[in-house]
Amino acid sequence: MFNSSTFDSDALMHPLIKRRLVLFSQVCCIFVIIAAHLVLVGWAYDIEALKGLSTSLVAMNPLTAICFILAGISLWLQRNPAPKYLVTSRILAGIVAVIGFAKLLSLFGDFDFILDRLFFASQLQEPERLLPNRMAPNTAFCFLLAGFSLLLIDLEVGIRKRPAQYLCIAITLVSLLSIYGYVFGVKYLIGISAYIPMAATTAVVFLFLSVGILFSRPDKGSMLIIFGSEETGEALFSRLFAIIFPLMIGWLKLRGEKAGYFSKEFGTALFGISTYAFSMFLLGRNALQKYRNRKLRLLSLQLLQEDAKKLQSILDNTATPIYIKDLEGRYNQVNKRFEQAFKVKSEEIKGKTEYDVFPKTIAQGISATDKEVLEKDATRYLEEVFELEGVQRTFLTVKFTLKDTEGVIYGLCSISTDITDRKLMEVLLRNDERRLNAILSGLGEGVVVVDTSGKFIFFNEIAEDILGLGKTDTAISDWSKTYGTFFPDGKTYYPPEELPLAKGLKGESLDNVEIFIRNENIPDGRAIKVTGRPVYNDKNEIIASVVVCRDITYEKQLEQLIQENEGRLTAVISTIGEGIIVADKNGQFVLFNNKAEEILGMNLKEMSAASWSNQYKIFLPDGLTQYPAEELPLAQALKGKTTNQVELCIRHEMFPKGKSISVSGRPILGDKNQVVAGIVDFRDVTKIRHLEHTLEEIKQKYRELICQSHQRK
């Protein structure tokens, strides 16, 4: 059933026509405001042409001009939907309506209405009619209608009924009657004889005001019916010209008769012929438009039929059974796959129900589901089992309602996909999953897996023990607070999006990330290390994220204990009187005590083992030949060799004469008897060598003296 109240008017109104009509409405609004201002200027400077076009015509009352200004501003503000502008617009419209109502009330209630003689009171006398210039009754009536039109401009009652548009049409008729009265010289059309008539300028401005209000909402109410179906401005022009043409012909007839160009009889005949010709023109154009519309309807019907054929062709070439039913549960359309699967013909099944196709037990289930979908207007997914060619086949069926453009349900569609093979695969996958879970549960580390939505799909027992919690329905953004994940400081929450499990969903891999866990089940906290990886399918798409975690609390405690002992050892070594240097297996210094810096004249520097001799200026005892780096005791220790009392010479700018040192080296072995570091201890033997040299010189002298004494003897 067609529901016009919900019809989208924008789909019917041509955008170009709408823009032109709205633009014309704005032009009318500006015309009303400018015309009213010109009238007030005419009263201010006593310019008859501005007050009423000529002295023979009634001048527009100043209050009438002010009301036009208020109405024009109110209409202009309706362009902006902001509440402050709409409130101001309605206030101005209310003032206009109240002024019109008060004037009418004064005419029927016999009390003096002073507002229309408040402005330019000394100039308000009409010498041609010996009457004061007051607001005419039909003018007041039009202002009352105009005020209510502006107040109710967006009110819609029933189906496309807008009271404001009907009020504007009434204003248009009153103004056209006055204009026709002035053109044809019929005083009864201008106003009530006992009162001053509506001014010609007032009638024209009222016509523009009513048209401006009507065209401000061209896609609503009656205006949509009049202009909605047009694709060009031709129809708009012809409709406006239909209003102006009789007026123009009538005026020309009267002018010709008064000027003596032709008699009244000839003028009447001319008027009739012209009107007849114009009417025939409009009828011909209307017939042409209807012919075009019929062609368009036929073309649309042809396109619909072609689309229906295309749709049926598409349905027939799908591998899934599809059917469409009406609201009574009768089949309207089925595709070829449905015919093949259930051994029926499309022509035979149309108009029949499921009880004519399937066994009663199956038909009852189908009927109940279809009724539920139609009654609840809901989409249902369900698995159905049918026996096809002696084999039980499982189908995943989706059933949904079909609606027209107005959202009214007119039928139901069912699409069934054969998932028998997939169900078998699911059984195999479940078996494989059980085996995998058994393997993962037997690991010595915690394993957690989430899918792309952040839902936990695997959580082994060790992971539950390590984290203090198992599977939850927590969103990714709440992981840190739910499981109590902190930075290693144990105080700052780990950002959920930076957790290895969340990073894996972004395709990033992380190794050995240290995290501190503290929650209600682990109040003292626990240090863990986590490694995360994304999980890809065969199309290289991320389908999950997995992390492996292990408890390193005991390791951290041992590490802290080792650090404390290392600190004590470092303090002891620093007080030893010999230099001690320790290097790891990569040749990086890990210990360099103060005495070593003092003896070598240099502090700890980062360098490779091959640069030791050059950087620390190490020479052979002769002080000239640089000691081979690979032969140094520390380098030998890293190779697993022990050296004792190796004498070296240190000579650089601090020790220009050189310094002799004695070095011993030892390898440091790990628990598997592998070299993990090297250590050397050395001491300054420069003074000893000087003493030895001095003693040698003394011995030499004594030998010479002994030799000389023997020679004398």
Does the pLDDT of residue 690 top 50, yes or no?
yes
Confidence of residue 8 (pLDDT cuts 50, 70, 90): very low
pLDDT (0 to 100) of residue 492: 92
Does the pLDDT of residue 164 top 80, yes or no?
yes
Tens of pLDDT, residues 698-713: 888 877 777 877 676 5
The contacts of residue 462 (CB under 8 Å, 6+ apart) are: 441, 443, 444, 445, 446, 447
Confidence of residue 510 (pLDDT cuts 50, 70, 90): very high
Confidence of residue 496 (pLDDT cuts 50, 70, 90): very high
3-class secondary structure for 216-251?
A: HCCCCHHHHHHHCCCCCCHHHHHHHHHHHHHHHHHH
Mean pLDDT of the chain: 81
pLDDT (0 to 100) of residue 556: 81
Spell out the CATH class of 575-694: alpha beta
pLDDT (0 to 100) of residue 30: 93
Phi then psi for residue 97, to 5 deg, are -65, -40
Rounded mean pLDDT, 659-673: 86
Rounded mean pLDDT, 153-174: 85
The answer to whether 62 and 119 have CB atoms below 8 angstroms apart is: yes
Confidence of residue 485 (pLDDT cuts 50, 70, 90): very high
Q: Is the domain defined by 318-418 classed in CATH 3.40.50.720?
A: no
Q: How many other C-beta atoms are found inside a 10 Å radius of the C-beta of residue 238? A: 16
pLDDT (0 to 100) of residue 2: 39
The answer to whether 79 and 91 have CB atoms below 8 angstroms apart is: no
Does the pLDDT of residue 495 top 90, yes or no?
yes
Query: Is the model more confident about 560 or about 408?
Result: 408
Rounded mean pLDDT, 692-700: 81
Rounded mean pLDDT, 508-537: 92
Enumerate the domain spans of the chain.
12-231, 232-303, 318-418, 428-551, 575-694
CATH code of the domain made up of 428-551: 3.30.450.20
Rounded mean pLDDT, 36-65: 84
Phi then psi for residue 202, to 5 deg, are -65, -45
Nearest CA to 71 among 163, 196, 171, 156? Answer: 171
Question: Residue 484 half-sphere exposure, CB side, CA atoms within 13 Å?
Answer: 19
Query: Is the model more confident about 303 or about 36?
Result: 36
Q: Is 433 helix (H, G, I), strand (E, B) or coil?
A: helix
Maximum CA pair distance of the chain? 188
The answer to whether 320 and 337 have CB atoms below 8 angstroms apart is: yes
Domain 318-418 identical in fold to domain 428-551: yes
Tens of pLDDT, residues 542-599: 999 999 998 888 888 777 776 776 666 666 565 566 888 888 888 888 888 888 888 8
Phi then psi for residue 542, to 5 deg, are -75, 125
Confidence of residue 3 (pLDDT cuts 50, 70, 90): very low
The answer to whether 649 and 638 have CB atoms below 8 angstroms apart is: no
Tens of pLDDT, residues 622-655: 888 889 988 999 899 988 899 998 899 988 888 8
Tens of pLDDT, residues 122-142: 776 665 556 677 788 888 899
Rounded mean pLDDT, 60-74: 91
pLDDT (0 to 100) of residue 58: 79
pLDDT (0 to 100) of residue 1: 38
Phi then psi for residue 518, to 5 deg, are -150, 120
The answer to whether 564 and 573 have CB atoms below 8 angstroms apart is: no
On the 0-12 / 13-18 / 19+ scale of CB atoms within 10 A, 107 is: middle
Tens of pLDDT, residues 604-628: 777 777 888 888 888 998 888 889 9
Rounded mean pLDDT, 245-266: 69
Confidence of residue 320 (pLDDT cuts 50, 70, 90): confident
Q: Is 388 helix (H, G, I), strand (E, B) or coil?
A: strand
* Chain centroid to CA 265: 74
Buried b (16+ CB within 10 A) or exposed e, 463-492: beebbbbeeeebebeebbeebbbbeeeeee
Provide, rounded to the nearest whole percent, the portion of the chain with pLDDT above 70.
Answer: 83
Tens of pLDDT, residues 343-393: 888 788 888 888 888 888 888 888 888 888 888 888 888 888 877 767 778
- Cα 619 from Cα 627, distance rounded (Å): 5
pLDDT (0 to 100) of residue 74: 92
Does the pLDDT of residue 537 top 50, yes or no?
yes
Provide, rounded to the nearest whole percent, the portion of the chain with pLDDT above 90.
Answer: 19
The answer to whether 329 and 354 have CB atoms below 8 angstroms apart is: yes
| DSSP assignment of 575-635 | HSSSEEEEEETTS-EEEE-HHHHHHHT-------GGGHHHHHTEE-TTSSSBPPGGGSHHH
pLDDT (0 to 100) of residue 4: 44
- Alpha carbon distances (Å) from 386 to 340, 373, 574: 13, 21, 87
